Chains A and B, each alone.
Chain A
Amino acid sequence: MITTPTLLCFAHGLEAKAFLQNLDFQPLGTEFYHSTSKDLYLSVTGEGPLKALSQTLQHLTQHPRIRKVVNMGLCGGLSEGSQSIGDILDVRTIYSDRPDDEQGVQFHSFSTNAESRVDLVTAWRRITSIEKAQELARFAQLVDREAWGHAYACKQLSRDFQCKKIVSDFATNLEQCFEVRAKALEYSQALFEHYFSVIEPDFPTQPPEFDFDIKGFYLTNQQLSQIKKLLPEGTKKASLAIDTILLAGILGSEEHPKKRTQRLIEALRQSQHPLEDRLQNQVNQRLQPLTDQGWTVTFDRDLESPRLEIKTSFDRPEEVQARSRALASFDIQSWLRLFEGELDV
């Protein structure tokens, strides 16, 4: 089975303990491990968004095969009542407070694909006042010290990102934090069990690359990418996305596979943008009297302005006459009417 090489990030060794104890992790560097059996990487980044950011960037650049990062660990709740201690929550959007002592939260946020309704704000300093907790509670339900750094690194390097947090205390109850350390191992075990029962129950296979598995076509790489663009975004299998009637028509022809591919691209383009095609024909048709007689015609490719520039060169008097005649009889009104929407000729 092909697995998605994944990096698990924790802030503290205690949070990662159950993973390190239960799997075959071998050290690759300082606080950085790899499990061959599960193809999982694990990093203990240290506390704070800067450490999270720099460690994740470093691991992802040194190991470009890692496609996904999962940040797990403890977090604080910002409003008692909506979460309970011990809840494991999927985070939807991650905000960050401002590193300078200014009020409010940084503008940039990062979203995961989680379907949850729980948001988190990453604090640059430990929360030491109820007022600070209340200020952050305007933006999110949870607070941690790292997730934003991990998410930022993943965004920069286009990696999937997931964030799973276990609520260990409430930032509005500053006395609880002493109990957290005592329970850290228990939380680590809960995250471990959650990971293998919910997040990766049977190790997802790597998403298949776009698959063009229709016999009878010959595709260059460029044509393959053209076809990908013409199919709905996210399409994985061309055979399912291309209209079977269209396909049958093209495959039934006697043409060479290369020519068929060209026809397929044309047909796909036409089916998506039929008006565009009609317009192109109209443009060609209206300029044809000039181009047929050897005039080079330049016009606004965006078709916003009807301005035409024409030029020619000639060697013989007959050419001068033929081109003059073509120019004199050129139907400029018809060209202008195209810009008033006359496409029905």
Chain B
Amino acid sequence: MFDRIFIEQEVKDLPATEKILRTFPDLPITEIDQVDKVFGQVKKPYLQKRETLNLFLGKKRGQLVKEAPEAYGAAGAPHYYFVHAYNCIYECQYCYLQGYFHSPDIVLFLNHAEIAEEIHRVADQHPDQTVWFHAGEFSDSLALSHLSGELDFYFDCFKKRPTAKLELRTKSANIRELLKLEPAPNIITSFSLSPDKASKHFDLKTPPLKARLAAMKALSDAGHPLAIHLDPIIYQPNFIEAYDQMLSQLTNQIDLNRIQYISLGVVRFTKDVYREVRNNYPQTSEFRGNFKTSFDGKVRYDRPTRMYILNQVKALCSKYGASEDQIYLCME
């Protein structure tokens, strides 16, 4: 999985570090002062992640909890995200990480205590509101959770803060660690789903839809709250039938009433990411053509097309039993 491990001196004696190193006893290890001094210092081609990845272990510095962009989650509540990892083992063709960092190497930050302290401080600023915290803004929240081992830590943190909510966003089916934990009503695991064919085409190396649905079922049966992101929806001529079929598969396993919320979003890119996507996946015709720079400078379909797609998928969700309040439109 990894070629080498770089470890910041400050975290080398942490139990989490020792645990990770035990998993990779044969990998060469290099000690460094700070992740930033090596990671992203050079432009490492994104697609090299297919062959070689380095693993960095360090401490997140700077702002540990950040305000989420507008329309990030359900409206009316403050939303924040915290960062405990950079990059991802999957390779979704539209992933914005390809234009974000200068390297696809995986970074795991291990100073969870400091991050949790900051979460409490931010939550204290909103005594009368439900504050949302999102993990996985720069990574997948569960894909490496067996390795990074931070889930029990954040579960403890949020169990002490029942008025704040934690969203763990994922495309993985790696729920082993999660199933070991006692569910909490304010910790929601949200799965990004797309129809099987689209997922195979665009979400390279991610678990197939079937595996994600099975993971959702297992979590639901164990009492963990769930949410769904039908995002990004990418236009393909048969997208209505494809989403219909996917929702049918989903509702065969889980009643939509048990889903806390369903977010819908149409594919969108920053200009830099769009350039990278076109560069990295020149054969993907779905990313050519009907893309425009829209109101916020992002590259997306024109408004009638976006709204058409969202309306169609929203109608399908209703058809399968989702209520109006369960659905929100992401980034629209």
Contacts and interface: CB of A to CB of B under 8 A. Distances in A.
Interface in A202-252: 232-234
A232 B287 CA distance: 11
Contacts of B303: 303-305, 339
Interface in B281-305: 282-283, 285, 288-290, 292-295, 302-305
Interface stretch (B147-155, B220-228, B306-314): B306-314
A343 B302 CA distance: 13
Interface in B35-50: 37-38, 41-45, 48
A20 to B, nearest CB: 34
B94 to A, nearest CB: 17
A106 B42 contact: yes
Main secondary structure of the interface of B (DSSP, over half): loop
Nearest to A105: B42
Given A93-B44, A302-B292, A138 B6 contact: yes
B310 A138 contact: no
Interface stretch (A26-34, A189-197, A253-261, A271-279): A271-279
Contacts of B323: none
A43 B43 CA distance: 29
Interface stretch (A63-71, A107-115, A287-295, A321-329): A107-115
Classify chain B: how many residues form its interface, as a range.
Answer: 35 or more
A111 B45 contact: yes
Nearest to A233: B282
A105 B303 CA distance: 44
Contacts of B32: 138
Given A93-B44, A272-B289, A343-B308, A117 B51 contact: yes
Nearest to A283: B304
B235 A109 contact: no
A275 B305 CA distance: 8
Given A272-B285, A302-B292, A339-B303, A109 B309 contact: no
A275 B308 contact: yes
Interface string B16-45: 000000000000101010000110011111
B56 to A, nearest CB: 11
Interface string A88-100: 0000110100000
Main secondary structure of the interface of A (DSSP, over half): loop
Contact of A107 (B43, B48, B308): B43
A100 to B, nearest CB: 15
A318 interface: no
B37 A104 contact: yes
B237 interface: yes
Classify chain A: how many residues form its interface, as a range.
Answer: 35 or more
A341 interface: yes
A106 B44 CA distance: 11
Nearest to A79: B28
A109 B30 contact: no
Contact of A340 (B37, B302, B307): B307
A342 B311 CA distance: 9
A142 B282 CA distance: 30
B290 A275 contact: yes
A103 B36 CA distance: 13
A279 B306 CA distance: 11
With a 10 A CB-CB cut-off, give which of A93, A95, A275, A339 has the most chain B CB atoms: A275
Interface in B211-248: 235, 237
B304 A339 contact: yes
A264 to B, nearest CB: 17
B45 A304 contact: no
A112 B6 CA distance: 26
A47 to B, nearest CB: 23
Contacts of A137: 30
B285 A232 contact: yes
A139 B6 CA distance: 11
B75 to A, nearest CB: 18
B12 interface: no
B102 interface: yes
B52 interface: yes
A111 B43 CA distance: 10
A279 to B, nearest CB: 6
Contact of B294 (A304, A339, A340): A304
Contact of A341 (B3, B282, B308): B308
With a 10 A CB-CB cut-off, give which of B41, B42, B48, B307 has the most chain A CB atoms: B42
A95 B310 CA distance: 44
With a 10 A CB-CB cut-off, give which of B43, B282, B310 has the most chain A CB atoms: B43
Interface in A147-165: none
20 contacts: A92-B48, A95-B42, A111-B45, A117-B52, A137-B30, A139-B41, A139-B42, A233-B283, A275-B308, A276-B305, A282-B304, A302-B293, A302-B302, A303-B304, A304-B295, A304-B303, A341-B311, A342-B308, A343-B304, A343-B308
Interface of A: 79, 92-93, 95, 103-109, 111, 117, 137-139, 232-234, 272-276, 279, 282, 302-305, 338-343
Q: List the 5 shortest-distance A-B pairs measured between CB atoms, nearest first.
A: A341-B307, A303-B302, A341-B308, A233-B282, A302-B292
Given A93-B45, A117-B52, A275-B308, 15 more contacts: A103-B37, A104-B38, A109-B42, A139-B38, A272-B285, A275-B235, A275-B290, A276-B289, A279-B304, A302-B292, A303-B305, A339-B303, A340-B307, A341-B306, A343-B304
